[in-house]
Amino acid sequence: MELVVAGIDPAHAPDDVLTSVESARRGDLLAAIAALPDAEEAAIAGQGERYEAYAVLREGFDSFGVFGNLFSSHLGVPPSRIAGCFYAAEGVDAAMHAMHVACGSDSFARGRDVPAPRFICESACDSGKPAEAIERLFLEASEAASSFGLRRDEDAQSRAEADMAVELARFVFDDLGKCSVMVESSSPQASVFQAAFSAAGASVFDACEEDGLMESMAKADVSLLWRAQAFDAAAAKRLRRVRRGRLSVVFDLAGEPDGRGRVDVDDVFVYGRSDLQEVAAACERESVGDAERARAIRERARAYMRWFDSRDVSASG
């Protein structure tokens, strides 16, 4: 038997392929893979921008060719359109890929959400095929990620982002004990950021609806925003005027529309949520050590494949 993974790399996919991925019914691809005569197990990982399939197949199967054709047909695009973004791997390489994904360290998962093992296992069971090997693979992957402290719940991720916001503000102002921080939001995340800045010694206050947002921001050295409307260059210029040239740091945290977090105005530093995530991810990777993590993943993947191969020996015996 052979473990196989195949998928679409969104970082290199053409726009029409990404559009097809967003609208595709993952259950249809799962059913097509599970129906292959050589398939023993099948699963689809489809969460956010990730779109990949895992399968346990009889050896001698042309995984790259067959899965490439399946993905092309399923997405309704010519094979030439996915040639530069389709990938496939077998055996220990497939196992290492799954573990790198869980640890957020493969080439296109970095800084993005990765599919939860439970999601993949549920898909495997839905296919009507036994899922022992795939379930064990993602249990191993989850444990690998946990050993590095990289699988975090949403609250923990918010705390990490809030800590990064504090450090970025400290880089600008040095002594946060002399700074005032304005919070504009009823978002549950707002309390996490408020607590982080309060712990750093800053004076935190809520935006005053009666005065208006810009007037409240004029009183703050640091502003935390969760508005739907992006804090753009025009808003930054207004803030610079009302602050009379005093330094300002703005965290625009509602989302990441085009242009958010890339405002270039003197004396006004604007950061988006992706900025916080990238800094946090870089610090994580540095603290863990890429070489150490890669070595641990390789060893765990090899141990998994020894178990995987032993199943065939037991079955033949």
Rounded CA separation 160/156 (Å)? 6
Which residue, among 189, 186, 195, 246, has the nearest Cα to 221 in the 3D structure? 246
> How does pLDDT run across 280-307, given as a tens digit for each residue?
665 555 444 566 777 888 888 999 999 9
CB 47 within 8 A of CB 115: yes
Which strands sit side by side in the sheet containing 222-225, from one edge to the other? Answer: 203-206, 180-184, 222-225, 248-252, 268-272
Residue 129 pLDDT more than 80?
A: no
What one-character-per-residue DSSP string does 145-195 give?
Answer: HHHTT----HHHHHHHHHHHHHHHHHHHHS-GGG-EEEEE---HHHHHHHH
Phi, psi of 241 (to 5 degrees): -65, -50
Rounded CA separation 97/101 (Å)? 6
Please give the share of the chain, as a percent, with pLDDT higher than 70. Answer: 74
> How does pLDDT run across 96-117, given as a tens digit for each residue?
988 887 776 664 444 344 444 4
> How does pLDDT run across 141-160, given as a tens digit for each residue?
878 777 765 544 455 677 77
Residue 4 pLDDT more than 60?
A: yes
Which residue, among 285, 213, 284, has the nearest Cα to 252 in the 3D structure? 213
CATH H-level, domain 2-151: superfamily? Glutamyl-tRNA reductase, N-terminal domain (3.30.460.30)
Residue 162 pLDDT more than 70?
A: yes
pLDDT for 221 equals 94
CB 29 within 8 A of CB 44: yes
CATH class of 154-280: alpha beta
Question: At a CB cut-off of 8 Å and minimum separation 6, what does 16 contact?
Answer: 77, 81
pTM for the complete prediction?
0.55
Comparing 63-72, 84-93, 179-188, the range with the smallest average pLDDT is: 179-188
pLDDT for 115 equals 47
Which residue, among 296, 251, 307, 266, has the nearest Cα to 91 in the 3D structure? 307
Please give the share of the chain, as a percent, with pLDDT higher than 90. Answer: 18
**Average pLDDT over all residues of the chain:** 78
3-state secondary structure of 20: helix
List the chain domain ranges: 2-151, 154-280
- The whole-number average pLDDT for the span 192-198 is 88
Residue 260 pLDDT more than 50?
A: no
Instruction: Give 206's pLDDT tier (boundaries 50, 70, 90).
Output: confident
